[in-house]
Every structure is written in C-alpha cells, then in structure tokens.
Amino acid sequence: MKKLGIYLIFFIVIIIVVPAVLVKTINFVMKEDKLNLTEEKDEESENKEEVKFDGYIKVYDTRTQEVLKMPLEDYVKGVVAAEMPAEFHEEALKAQAVASRTYALERTKKYPAGHPDHPGAPLCTGVHCQAYLSLQELEEAHSSKWVEQYWGKIEDAVDSTKNEVIYYDGELIEPLYHSTSGGMTEDSEDVFAVSYPYLKSVLSPYEEGAPKLKSTSTFTVNEFIDKIKENYPEANITKDNMAEKIKVVERTESGRIKKLMIDGIVIEGSKIRSIFNLNSTNFKITLNLKTNTVEIETTGYGHGVGMSQWGANGMAKQGKNYKEILCHYYQGVEIGTYK
C-alpha cells in the first residue's frame, strides 16, 4: 500500500504540478519577451523623435562654401525673392512660396546626410537647387528702396502660407518650376527621362509680357557649323547642304524639339539647347543666305516642366488663387500642412 501511495503521489506531481510550473514559467518568459519588444519599440519611437523636423534646414552656401542652418520659413523668403520677380501678383508669390517650401522639405527628406554634389546639406544656394539670397544680399543686388518696397510683400506671401506643402498620394512632390513655358508645359519624361504623374503637360496661356517668351539667337554660318562639329566632328555639314542635312525627328506634345537629326546623327533637343545656349528646346533654325547667318528662334525660357512662373502670374491676374495655380500646374495634387 505504501508503494501504491508513493506511486499515486508521483503520478499527481507529474500530471498536475509539473505542467502548472511549466505553464507559469512559459507565461513569465512570454511576458518578458513582450516587455522587451515594447522597450525596443519605445526606443525606435524615441529615435524617430530625434530626427523629426525641427523647423530648421541646412543649406550649402555656394559663395562661402559653408553649411548654414536656418529656419525653413526664412529660407523660403530668400528663395521667393531670388526666384520670382517681386512685382508679381501676391497669389503667384504664394504659389512660389508653397512650391519652394515643398522642394526644400522633399530634398531634406531625400538627402538627410547631404546631397552628393554638396555633402553636409541637402540644399544649396545656387540654381543647382533653388536660388537663395539673404536680406543683405538682396539689398546689395537691388537697393534699400527695393527692400522697403517689396520685402514686406514677400514676407506676407510666405507667412500666409506657413507650413503649407504639396502632396501627391500622401507624399511630398518634387515641384519643378521654370520661368516661361511658351504656352504649354512639358511632361517630365520628355525632359528628365523620369515620369511623374503630377508633372504632365498642361496649357499655360497667360504669359503675355514675359521678357523671354520669344527670343532669337544669331550666328554666322561658320560659327554654327563649327559649334556642331566641335561636338559631332563626323557630321558632314556645310553651308550648301545645311538645309537638307538638318531635320526634326521628334517633337514633344508641347511642340518642343525632342530629337533632331544632323547628317544622320540623332541629337537630343536638350543637347542643341546646351551647345547654342538657347532659352528652351522649343526652337526653329533658319538659314539666311542674304546675311550669311543662322537664326535660332526660341519660345519660352527654361526646361518647361512644372509651374511656369510667368504663367502663374498671369493666372493670378485672371483671379485665380495660389492653390488653383498649383493644382493646375501640378496635376492631381493636394495642398496640406507639413507635419
């Protein structure tokens, strides 16, 4: 009987007590594991708080080769003043402010450790990014009278749109802009070989008064031929065969020259623009035998993608507000507050 009692006690310990201890132990371990995960999550949240935008941005000064840290809104004021004529309508200036702010934040998010072309800062003060001038530099470039007349207007345009940015599908866009489209903007893929759904060709009809809406560059025939042969020495082009050797291969939807063929060599329109320092790729080449010159007439000024600044001013004069202007030039976007 004693043996039977011992067996029963042993059986009870194995069946009931041991599993209970195991279950308790396993529960304890699982709780510890969950606690550790929670702590790790808290640490991640703390790290995210550390890199959260604090209202300041870093900008590489191309003039002093120094990295500046400044409030975002102060930077935007300097960009608007440098990039758009202060005489423009206030709604156009507001549109520029929102576009410039969006560009700065998108670049900051994309290059937190600095841009490859200027390590240490995601932005620079040159046209490589956005032109920027400090108040002192603006006074030196214009005059104290200019500052008195226009700086308040620029401040109002920026302050009244504070923290406003442009989103597409919940993400900051790359809000490209240019001076004058010449009547129609470009698809991004036709210029930069990258397709963005918000950078599509749209009409830009209100650009009257733009100083570079139309312009003409004149070269002697020899100058023209020399520039071509400097870049394409194999091209057999002369004054006598020029008319038949130069042909347009492809135009973009807006009418700009995408590809040109010279003596069988296919050349990008952007390359011709670069060779002859043209205002845009919307150009027409004319040989004038009487004067022995080649005239290249261009329409528009800039790459033509995104917002036309002169078009924005024209829309503002037509009664459109800055949000309507932005939503016209950047298709399918929303204007919201940056968080």
CA distance 247 to 85: 38
- Is residue 270 within 8 Å of 281, Cβ to Cβ? yes
Gap between the Cα atoms of 299 and 280, Å rounded:
7
Q: How far apart are CA 264 and CA 166, in angstroms?
A: 44
**Residue 295 dihedral angles phi and psi, to the nearest 5°:** -105, 130
d(CA 13, CA 17): 5
In this structure, are residues 322 and 91 in contact, taking their beta carbons and an 8 Å threshold? Answer: yes
Tens-place pLDDT, residues 270-305 = 999 999 999 999 999 999 999 999 999 999 999 999
How far is it, in rounded angstroms, from Cα 249 to Cα 240? 21
Would you state the pLDDT for residue 40? 33
> Rounded to whole angstroms, what are the CA distances from 205 to 39, 85, 200, 315, 326?
58, 19, 16, 9, 15
Quick one: angle between helices 90-110 and 144-159, nearest 10? Answer: 70
pLDDT for 53: 85
Alpha helix segments (H runs only) across the chain: 2-12, 18-51, 72-83, 90-110, 135-141, 144-159, 189-192, 221-231, 242-245, 269-276, 309-317, 322-329
Dihedral (C-alpha) 268, 330, 174, 304: value to the nearest 10 degrees?
30
**pLDDT tens digits, one per residue of 216-245:** 999 999 999 999 999 999 999 999 999 899
Q: What is the pLDDT at residue 339?
A: 77
Give the model confidence (pLDDT) of 317-334 as tens digits.
999 999 999 999 999 999
What pLDDT does 51 receive? 53
Between the CA of residue 234 and those of 219, 230, 249, 258, 265, what are the distances in Å? Answer: 21, 10, 19, 21, 9
How much is the pTM? 0.82
Amino acid 193: pLDDT: 86
The residues of the chain scoring below 50 in pLDDT are 1-50
